[in-house]
């Protein structure tokens, strides 16, 4: 276990976004310009819930501190926010805006972090709906802080973080002084299932709604399309692997 | 128009570098490459063949601090008056491109899978590869990070000039204590051929038949999540929604059921071969070629067939 001698109290901001349940049917409406939310169940983005939030809670439990979750989202996202509170965050902030652009979202969070002062800002690796991996790095640049991306381990030693992170084709152990922004990947923590007491407590935990600041939208999604339907799977006799190899060479042209 | 392409040349030049330069060329206009580190100029000059008119190399910067690298790329973008910066969508790009986006106030498209279409929008995967989105960049400057294996590198030109560049990396706030890099392996996201296996293989001691096939094909190996979770295989091999997303030309899956979260990471593969004892395995619905059979018999047979095919001069 790491030692936590110097700090004693850490203010952690955990960025939470919603994501459609992984079994949701993916379809689009309005001439393929909008995601069809009909019947879609929203969950806390798994990376945010399993890795960053749980690691933040573990740090708080070991050295003391406060875990605030922040979401850029509309009023309908409050159900997802309450779920994250049920897992154990102390309080929540919702920036009242539709997060259609990563830059817009990141600047909102950075503004809040700047005004309120945090030792550590955590994000997930990426959102599973738009898979951008953008927001964390953008928050860091907007705050002029170091950003450790895709950390699979995070330990606090006084005012220093020791992290293990994925790099191209390997792993790296790095050290960085607080404050810092970290995006959390697999390995960081184990999933926690909220218990009844947590769920009850979440109902009365503070949830502050903050008006957004004016920020340009640098990108927009103009439309969506679905992949072409797969042609039926061609079945090959398990005793005839020469045929499979020939098909992969002549027909599929991949070997 | 001027395009700047960032290339990570720390371990020499890989196919993803040629793809990124080819992509930059296809955007139209003059292509400059920015890179850092020690790779010799002769090697870097070869990027000219793919369309670069010049390579800038900051030899004073050998670090990997993302904040410093962002400064170096930003100063190259400024010097070349780049209207678009191109990355290959690897782990470096995931850390640096978002920072650069804020620094240059340039809209970022991450994980592009095609050149911009007629209306200027760029195609990306959304919903874990279950659909495509068309992203429009509203800012004057753009950053596009290209998913590996999305286009073929094209050699159209000759070697280009290589110039020293000082990008003023500034101070580093991150101290690297150690780096672990497996030698000689094909990085999974870049691999064109991938052989993958799941819980159907029953135990880590049985992976020899998976590795044999991968070796015969020159493929990388991957696995399903439970296999990485129980420690049969290293975590970096785990593909799927919570692991690595890959889009190789060929994905061979043995003893994997084809759960929706697994498919999310592999359904960008051009061709999928599924080997499973259960004819009802959901993976067959996504596969191009299916073999209903025991992986312990089918994999060695397939390896033999591949060896025979290679020996016949292919
Ligand atoms: C939020 C969430 C995220 C997830 N993310 C991922 C992810 O990123 N990646 C991922 O892979 N999973 C992920 N999962 C888990 C996923 O749902 C499946 O549980 C998992 O993919 C199953 O792995 P498997 O196919 O190896 O094992 P199983 O489902 O146990 O399937 C084993 C298969 O092997 C076949 N088989 C058995 N013996 C043989 C034999 N001798 N020869 C050939 N075939 C044989 C069986 O018929 C069966 O189809 C996630 C789950 C959740 C809830
Ligand atoms: N609307 C949002 N509100 C709060 N945090 C967000 C939001 N969108 C993304 N994030 C955070 O940024 C991470 C990366 O998201 P993305 O850049 O969309 O892949 C997520 O895992 C979240 O932690």
Domains of chain B: 2-165 (3.40.50.620), 188-311 (3.40.50.1220)
| ipTM metric | 0.88
**Per-residue pLDDT at B182:** 63
Contact A210, A112 (CB under 8 A): yes
pLDDT of residue A204: 95
Q: Give the three-state DSSP class for A211.
A: coil
Q: Which of A220, A227, A236 sits opposite B136 (nearest CB)?
A: A220
Say if residues B105 and B39 touch (Cβ distance below 8 Å): no
Could you write out the three-class secondary structure of B131-189?
A: EEEEEEECCCCEEEEECCCCCCCCCCCCCCEEEECCCCCCCCCEEEEEEECCCCCCCHH
Quick one: pLDDT band at residue B235, thresholds 50, 70, 90? confident
> For the residues B9-14, what does the mean pLDDT come to?
88
Q: Is the CB of residue B267 below 6 angstroms from any atom belonging to ligand 1?
A: no
The response to whether residue A101 sits with its C-beta less than 6 Å from ligand 2 reads: no
CB contact under 8 A, A168 and B90: yes
The Cα of B305 is separated from the nearest Cα of chain A by a number of Å equal to 5
**Inter-chain contacts counted by CB atoms under 8 A, chains A and B:** 270
Q: Which of A23, A46, A249 sits opposite B242 (nearest CB)?
A: A46
pLDDT of residue B204: 96
Q: What would the two tokens of residue B3 be?
A: 């395009």
Task: Please state, rounded to an integer, the average pLDDT across all residues of chain B.
Answer: 93
User: Ligand 1 in contact with B299 (CB < 6 A)?
Assistant: no
Among A105, A140, A209, which residue has the most ligand 2 atoms within 8 Å of its CB, making it the best to mutate? Answer: A105
pLDDT at B17 over 90: yes
Which residue among B102, B173, B314 sits closest to A177, beta carbon to beta carbon?
Answer: B173
Which phi-psi region, left, alpha or beta, contains residue A8 (left: φ > 0; alpha: ψ -120 to 50)? left
Distance CA A239, CA A248 (A): 16
Name the closest ligand to CA B238: 1
CB contacts of B175 in chain A (<8 Å) are: 174-176
The residue behind tokens 């139209």 is B28
Ligand nearest to the CA of A53: 2
The CA distance from B119 to B121, in Å, is 6
**What's the CA angle centered on A213, arms B139 and A75, to 5 degrees?**
105
pLDDT band at B16 (very low <50, low <70, confident <90, very high): very high
Q: Does B85 touch chain A (CB under 8 A)?
A: no
pLDDT in tens, A128-175: 888 788 999 999 999 999 999 999 999 999 899 999 998 876 789 999
| Helix, strand, coil fractions of chain A, as percent rounded to 5 | 30, 30, 40
Contact check, Cβ <8 Å, A170/B181: yes
Q: Find all residues with CB under 8 Å of A102, minimum gap 6, and list them.
A: A130, A132, A134, A135, A138, A219, B98, B101, B108
- Asked whether the beta carbons of residue B291 and residue A152 sit closer than 8 angstroms, the reply is no
State whether B306 and A135 contact (CB < 8 Å). Answer: no
3-state secondary structure chain B: CEEEEECCCECECCHHHHHHHHHHHHCCCEEEEEEECCCCHHHHHHHHHHCCCEEEEECCCCCCCHHHHHHHHHHHHHHCCCCEEEEECCHHHHHHHHHHHHHHCCEEEEEECCCCCCCCCEEEEECCCCEEEEEEECCCCEEEEECCCCCCCCCCCCCCEEEECCCCCCCCCEEEEEEECCCCCCCHHHCCEEEEECHHHCCHHHCHHHHHHHHHHCCEEEECHHHHHCCCCCHHHEECCCCECCCCCEEEEECCCCCHHHHHHHCCCCEEEEEECCCCCCHHHHCCEEEECCHHHHHHHHHHHHHHHHHCCC
Candidates 3.40.50.620, 3.40.50.300, 3.80.10.10, 1.10.3720.10; correct CATH number of A10-227?
3.40.50.620
Chain B environment of A142 (Cβ under 8 Å): 102
Contact A127, A94 (CB under 8 A): no
In this complex, which of A47, A166, A242 lies closest to B305 when CB atoms are compared? A242
CB within 8 A of B286, min separation 6: which ones?
A: A230, B258, B263, B267, B272, B274
The pLDDT score that the predictor gives to residue B25 is 97
> What residues of chain A score a pLDDT lower than 70?
1-7, 169
**Predicted pLDDT at A4:** 40
Q: How confident is the model at residue B123 (pLDDT cuts 50, 70, 90)?
A: very high
CB contact under 8 A, A136 and B108: no
- The whole-angstrom separation of Cα B143 and Cα B226 is 36
The ligand that comes nearest to the alpha carbon of residue A139 is 2
**Are the C-beta atoms of residues A138 and A71 closer than 8 Å to each other?**
no
pLDDT-derived band at B266 (thresholds 50, 70, 90) equals very high
Task: Look at residue A169 in the predicted model and tell me its pLDDT.
Answer: 67
pLDDT at res. A253: 93
Phi, psi for A94 (deg, rounded to 5): -120, 120
Mean pLDDT of B267-296: 96
How confident is residue B185, by pLDDT bands cut at 50, 70 and 90?
low
Q: Is the CB of A42 under 6 A from ligand 2?
A: no
**Residue A174: closest C-alpha in chain B:** B176
Whether the Cβ atoms of residue B25 and residue B86 lie closer than 8 Å to each other: no
Phi, psi of A156 (to 5 degrees): -105, 130
Q: Answer yes or no: do A234 and B288 touch at CB < 8 A.
A: yes
Q: Give the position, in ligand 1's atom list, of the atom nearest the Cα of B226.
A: 23
- Atom of ligand 1 lying closest to residue B224 CA: 11
């Amino acid at each position: 276990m790491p030692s936590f001698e110097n700090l004693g109290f850490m203010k952690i901001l955990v960025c939470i976004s919603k994501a459609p349940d992984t079994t949701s049917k993916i379809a689009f409406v309005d001439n393929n310009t909008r995601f069809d939310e009909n019947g879609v169940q929203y969950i806390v983005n798994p990376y945010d819930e399993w890795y960053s939030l749980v690691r933040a809670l573990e740090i708080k439990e070991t050295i003391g501190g406060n875990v605030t979750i922040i979401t850029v989202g509309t009023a309908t996202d409050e159900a997802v926010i309450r779920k994250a509170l049920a897992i154990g965050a102390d309080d929540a902030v919702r920036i009242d805006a539709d997060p259609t652009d990563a830059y817009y979202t990141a600047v909102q969070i950075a503004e809040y972090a700047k005004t309120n002062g945090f030792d550590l800002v955590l994000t997930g690796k990426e959102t599973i709906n738009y898979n951008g991996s953008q927001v964390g790095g953008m928050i860091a640049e907007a705050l002029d802080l170091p950003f450790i991306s895709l950390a699979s381990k995070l330990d606090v030693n006084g005012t220093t973080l020791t992290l293990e992170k994925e790099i191209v084709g390997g792993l790296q152990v790095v050290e960085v002084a607080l404050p810092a922004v970290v995006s959390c990947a697999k390995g960081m923590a184990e999933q926690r299932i909220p218990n009844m007491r947590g769920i009850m407590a979440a109902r009365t935990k503070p949830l502050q709604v903050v008006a957004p600041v004016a920020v340009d939208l640098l990108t927009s999604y103009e439309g969506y399309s679905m992949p072409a339907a797969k042609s039926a799977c061609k079945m090959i006799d398990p005793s005839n692997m020469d045929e499979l190899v020939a098909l992969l060479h002549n027909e599929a042209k991949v070997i | 128009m001027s395009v700047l392409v960032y290339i990570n040349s720390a371990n020499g030049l890989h196919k993803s570098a040629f793809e990124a330069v080819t992509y930059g060329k296809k955007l139209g206009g003059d292509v400059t490459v920015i890179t850092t580190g020690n790779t010799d100029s002769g090697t870097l000059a070869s990027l000219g063949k793919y369309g670069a008119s010049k390579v800038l190399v900051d030899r004073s910067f050998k670090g990997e601090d993302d904040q410093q690298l962002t400064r170096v790329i930003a100063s190259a973008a400024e010097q070349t008056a780049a209207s678009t910066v191109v990355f290959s969508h690897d782990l470096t790009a995931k850390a640096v491109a978002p920072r650069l986006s804020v620094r240059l106030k340039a809209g970022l498209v991450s994980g592009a899978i095609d050149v911009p279409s007629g209306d200027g929008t760029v195609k990306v995967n959304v919903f874990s590869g279950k659909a495509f989105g068309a992203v429009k960049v509203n800012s004057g400057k753009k950053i596009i990070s290209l998913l590996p294996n999305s286009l073929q590198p094209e050699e159209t030109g000759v070697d280009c000039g290589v110039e020293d560049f000082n990008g003023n990396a500034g101070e580093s706030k991150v101290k690297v204590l150690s780096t672990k890099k497996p030698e000689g392996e094909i990085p999974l996201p870049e691999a064109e051929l991938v052989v993958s296996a799941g819980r159907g293989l029953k135990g880590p001691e049985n992976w020899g038949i998976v590795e044999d096939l991968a070796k015969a094909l020159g493929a990388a190996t991957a696995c399903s999540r439970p296999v990485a979770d129980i420690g049969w295989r290293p975590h970096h091999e785990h593909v799927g929604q919570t692991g690595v997303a890959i889009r190789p030309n060929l994905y061979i899956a043995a003893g994997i059921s084809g759960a929706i979260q697994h498919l999310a990471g592999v359904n960008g593969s051009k061709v999928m071969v599924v080997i499973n004892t259960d004819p009802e395995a959901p993976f067959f619905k996504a596969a191009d070629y299916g073999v209903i059979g025991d992986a312990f018999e089918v994999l060695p047979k397939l390896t033999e067939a591949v060896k025979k095919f290679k020996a016949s001069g292919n």
